[in-house]
Amino acid sequence: MVESDRLSQGARLIIEDSGNRVLISAAVAWELAIKLKTGKISPPSLVDRLHSSLDRAAFSELPITIEHATRAGLLPLHHRDPFDRLLVAQALTLHIPIISADALLEKYEVERIE
């Protein structure tokens, strides 16, 4: 069961459907580690257990490629958050939807599931 009050019921159902492959970008770990280091999140165990949590949930790691990084850098500046821009670039490159509460991402014509 996916636990988050920020996810819609529809997003939860998509994530929990074993017929769907759920990809978690390396950018998520990078952003979490930065937020931990700057004191924006705690405890450190959130970052420490991320990999094992992904394994338990049967989620797949999505590495950051040069193609993803280049595409993120070339995107229009609708969104200033580099992590969100990278997630959009990955979704666009791989032709996959992105699960996010951030409606601003739709300016990139990416399929967003709220």
Question: Any idea where the domains of the chain sit in the sequence?
Answer: 22-61, 64-114
Q: Where are the alpha helices (DSSP H) in 1-114?
A: 9-16, 26-37, 45-48, 50-57, 66-74, 82-94
Give the whole-angstrom CA distance, residue 72 versus residue 98.
15
pTM of the shown model? 0.89
Tokens of 44: 């450190």
CA angle 52, 57, 59 (to 5 degrees): 90
The torsion angle over the Cα atoms of residues 91, 45, 31 and 90, rounded to 10 degrees, is -10
Note down pLDDT in tens along the chain; length 114 residues. 456 677 889 999 999 999 999 999 999 999 999 999 999 988 888 888 999 999 999 999 999 999 999 999 999 999 999 999 999 999 999 999 999 999 999 999 999 998
pLDDT of residue 69: 98
